Structure 1
Amino acid sequence: MDEKLNPKDKVLLMRDEGEGNKLKVVKGIDKKGKIDAIDPLKAKQTDFIKIDKHADPLENFFKNFFNQAKNPSHTGFYAVTVDMLDKVLSLSDKELEKFRVDPREYLNKEQEQSTMETKQESAKEVVTEKKDEKMETTSEQKTEFKQFDTNRIPESEYQKYGIKPENLEGELKAMSYGYKSPHLVDINPKIEGVDYPMKARLSLEEQPDGSLKFTPHPYQNQVDLEKPFQGIMLPNDVKENLLATGNSGRVVELEPRPGEKVPSLISIDKLTNRLEAVPLDKLTVSQNLKGAELSPEQQQALKEGKKILVEGMTSKKTIGTDNPRKFDAYVQFNAAKGGCDFSYDGLDRNKYQQNNKQEQSQNQEQNQVRIPKKLLGVDLNEKQQNSLREGKSVYVQGMLKDAKGEPFNAYVKVNNEKGKLDFFKWNPDRAKKQGADVKVAEGNKTQVAVNSQGKTNEATKYSKEPLKKGQQNPTENQAKGQRQQQGVKKPVKKSTGHKM
């Protein structure tokens, strides 16, 4: 707009969640719903959208605003007079609330009705889709997620945040599954030509063209519970719960957009000290948690943000073994982790210790070693597992890896004295009698001799590459290398005698 504003004319401001809820002057919005805003102290009068119910620019702005995608980058709109711009930055959140505006007031009833109808139609489609999905999902009710191909992150994204690809080597695996980076990352984005070095967790967002972009979650020194979060001021009981446990402890109705109520659970991200929320309609609770079946009441309580006691869970490392370790814990959903928190306050941590010791002593009395279901990449069938429990040797094929990195076959037998499994190139059960021949498995004789024992025969003495399972002679390429080595003779170094 070219007209000069009167000091008492009202202009539109918003909080930018991506920059720590910083107040900015709204300039406009593009077709994709991205809001263009600028620092109030740097703004010119021509940048402002004048607050006038009959002004086309403002009406068009809010019309586009209602059509933008979910999860907008703002946390509220405010209308202040031009002469207040230099003071508004120093206002407290409570004082600023007096200036909050509802965008719907600037749309006529016909437009608002059209918008609501569109929302209702979209909601019906979403509900229908969700019903169809629930019919097809497993008992755990998990939505399939296609892992991101991190090679689709353009170089420009790394440059945009001043990141070297090698600095993300330990982060990209988790990010490829839709999680935030497990650690804080040093980034250096440029905003209006100014460098802003900071620490942040990163996540990936897929673009319409299939490429991936970084979404930063900046670190802040401490969590701020006195500022509006997604359109609301947090109730006192929720603040107390967040400070005590890191979780809201109950469902909170957020208002990411004016008039839109979203029941959600809130938690503090302990790495960034920022609040994170998960809408209830995106939250699924499994019927089984670490081997313990959850009742419908327990599942519902977790969805409501409550802390519940779950008994008889099994530690991850011992699931599927002969000696599972049981434990109890208080469990509560954590919106920042997208999983559960476990706490043990007031619980008897030794409750299962006696049972675990008894099982362990019984195993020792029976000279039993834990028998795995999978050994070096190979699934052991029930017969093989039982044979190992009975102290017999079993022949396992295709295990990884031998001394040269190739799959290998071996006889496996329990070593009760050392409490582990031993591997043999021969059948130890047949070599028990004194004087019995000890033989390597027939199909692996040459491979074991060449790869693990360093031996050669006429066919393999020039081959430097390891032989594969069952291979007796070198391949054509290996043979070619042998012939080349045979044709090259080392020059004989002549003695020049000792120098005096």
Structure 2
Amino acid sequence: MSTENTQRQVEHDVLLVNDKTKNKIQVVKGLDKDGKLETVPATKKNQNQFLKVDRNGDFFSNFFSNFFSQLKNPTQFTFFRVPELLTIKMANQMQKELNQSGPTHELFLKHQVSDVGKEQKKENKVAEPTKEECLYNSNKFDIKDIDWDSLSRLGLSKEKLQEMDLLDPLLKGYKTKDLVAVNLDLGSAVFSLDARLSLQKNADGKVVMALEGVKKYPNLNVPLYGHEFSKQDKHNLLKTGNMGRVVELTHPTTKEKIPSVVSVDRLTNNLVVTRVEKMQLPKEVKGIILSEEQLQTLKEGKPLLVEGMTSAKGNLFNAEIQYNAAKGHIEFLFDNTNKQSQAQSQTSNQSQLSDNLKTFRGKELTDKEQAELLEGKSVYIKDLIDKRGNPYQGYVTYNKETKKADFSFQNPIKEEQSKTQSKSEKQTDEPKKSKGRKI
């Protein structure tokens, strides 16, 4: 127990940075003597060069304020604060989000560090910013307007939300990316549920916490703002999560007819609506400039097949994209993607498989490990990191038919061999038992 506490006390955070001129996520190494930013790629071999800072909030705020004040061309960069153990994994995920060219990057919003010191330099002031001013400026909601006493009845506190890295995205006006366990204390009864959280203003203008509970299935048998779902609507929502067309929904108060698209929140199975006029669509996706006709297809809520896109690894691929109201941006529908031509050679297929196996859950695989997976062997992988930042290890196998990697804490190949051997020994024993029997 004492060892675990000691490890937690020395945990650090690492600074990631996006250079807006290059759209490249890298790890901050430090500043040179001229105040220019030094960075290194987010790879395992560079870990000893990562700039690490104490996780304590006050220390970090003061550190970043001083760091930012010494940086040349600060508006060129966007900084992100991530746990040390998750640095490589989160850098890769952020780069993927950046390459998608969507308007909303969830990891960016969750881990972005505000430009501390920007206003001080502008006005030549030397006043020390508070921790809240450092980390929670430019938000949709003010942290001072939150009724923390009321939230305590939900088992939530400012400290708990900060610890779970949820407070910053909530203040920016976004729902939590994952479900959060909430305990609702009504005095005479206590309820526990998993829900997505978001901050909203009620009719009196008071900031309240909205809880979006989980449903077993989306409710498609009841009209949504006056719209009755057709058989095709239900099919599309259950298959892709998007209805696939624009419908006019009736505003409950003004009775105004509002052209909208509808999607299913895959975490909660609740229906989410976005006005067509509020849809944000990218003009470029993975290196392909979208035509006005293609943008119109997306604006109508329909799926759009885009060919010749370039992945982060430099591979060409085709995929359908569609606007998702629950996410607030387009998403890739890989299940509906047209299959690549069967004329591809076996060599190119092997290369493609090898590319897909370069990483597993953020862990870079060696050439030997990739080769063994393609040969059908199980590979023991260490230093994997779960969602809570805890390390774990186990066996990875690769299915060439489904092109998917599977994980198991036990060696699945040895287990199968053991079962086969046991079955064989049982069959071998049966004739011995019947030896000498008269027929």
Shorter chain as denominator, the TM-score bin is 0.3 to 0.5
Structure holding more strand per residue? 2
Given the two structures, how large is their TM-score scaled by the length of structure 2? 0.42
Given the two structures, how large is their TM-score scaled by the length of structure 1? 0.37
- Higher-Rg structure is 1
